[in-house]
A and B are shown apart, each in its own frame.
Chain A
Amino acid sequence: MVMIDPRTAGRSRPQGSGFELFVWYLMRVTGVMLFVLALAHFSIMHFLFDPSQESASWIAARWGSLAWRVFDWTLLMMVLFHSFMGVRTVLLDYVHGTRARLLSMSTLYIVALILFAAGTAVVMTLPVVA
């Protein structure tokens, strides 16, 4: 009988991974949404309005509308999810050691969490300027 090295050859019993499926699917969904939202954002900021007139107070005034806050928050969440899960893919492919993997993944998730929280806090709490 031929002995096979299980690390490089036969696979251990497969474990269906719901998380991998979830990430894979959401990468595609967010990709499509970014195509629409990012293009819309680009068109609004550069063509519909004059970029030279866009200041912090202009944005604050625009955020008087709940719809704009929802739009910008959705765009931000899509960008954060898509980019961080993209970096996760790169780490999965190139970082092999158990400790290095744990460290890089933990850092990634912590940074992502902070940015998710900070971004959401800003969108939710920025005072409306009349």
Chain B
Amino acid sequence: MHVSLRIQRFDPDRDTASHWVEYGLDVDPMARVLDLLHQVKWEQDSSLAFRRSCGHGICGSDAMMINGRNRLACKIRVDQLGRKISVAPLPGLPVVKDLVVDMDGFFAKYRSVHPFLVNDDPPPAQERRQSQAQRAVFDDTTKCILCGACTSSCPSFWARPGYVGPAAIVNAHRFIFDSRDQGGEERLQILADRDGVWRCRTIFNCVDACPRGINITRAILEVSAAIVEKSA
């Protein structure tokens, strides 16, 4: 099957603006976009830059905008996209080169919500026990792989880059509702910031973008409701 692959290229040493380059490829319909990018890099233009690590939807390195939507290049196949495929870097983030974006701000916001277990009690002899029901409350948000597809698809984030963004809220949710954690109050205070949860306009782009199928908007609203409850 012949496909036309358009890639938005940008080389900071040569270009002042990004531009589209078209590549013709003969591929298997079951090939993934990541395979196509490899094919271009290995056979046509070795200067093409993109991130990928595991190549199997777990590490979250190869999120990019594919046919206008944020997707993992290693999860979406040619037969899902058709003969014309366009690939651009994640929107809303500074481009370093080609499909590689600067994720420093993204991870700084992630760190700002204390995405780790906070528990000052002395460690028990065995594990900290938790019932299945207690676990189910935050199960959805444990699935995040920090690919950045949600935050960079969020119009509220585009409009206001200071917004902490869906990914950070998802990872705060994962600990706020964990029965073993004691840092929930502090996280809720952090997210009650002007640039915290109130910036969510329930546009649902994040839900569409998430390669892990997390109901992100629901998680954000659960955190908002928890802040309201705490303040009541």
Contacts and interface: CB of A to CB of B under 8 A. Distances in A.
On whether the two chains bind one another, the answer is yes
Interface of A: 2, 4-5, 7-11, 14-18, 20-21, 23-25, 89, 92-94
A20 B194 contact: yes
Contacts of A93: 156, 159-160, 201
Contacts of B231: 18, 21
B192 A17 contact: yes
B82 interface: no
B224 interface: yes
A127 B88 CA distance: 66
A23 B197 CA distance: 13
5 contacts: A7-B161, A16-B189, A17-B193, A18-B231, A24-B198
Interface residues of B, number: 27
Contacts of A94: 159
A55 B228 CA distance: 44
A14 B105 contact: no
Given A20-B194, A21-B227, A11 B109 contact: yes
Nearest to B196: A14
Contacts of B112: 10-11, 14
B103 to A, nearest CB: 10
B201 A5 contact: no
B162 A11 contact: yes
Given A10-B109, A21-B198, 10 more contacts: A4-B104, A10-B108, A11-B193, A11-B195, A14-B196, A15-B194, A17-B193, A17-B196, A20-B198, A21-B231
Contacts of B94: 8
Counting chain A CB atoms within 10 Å of each CB, the highest count among B94, B159, B191, B193 belongs to B193
Contact of B105 (A10, A16, A23): A10
B198 A17 contact: yes
A5 B93 CA distance: 12
Nearest to A14: B193
B190 interface: yes
B164 interface: yes
A85 to B, nearest CB: 12
B228 A11 contact: no
Nearest to B93: A8
Contacts of B105: 4-5, 8-10
A10 B94 CA distance: 14
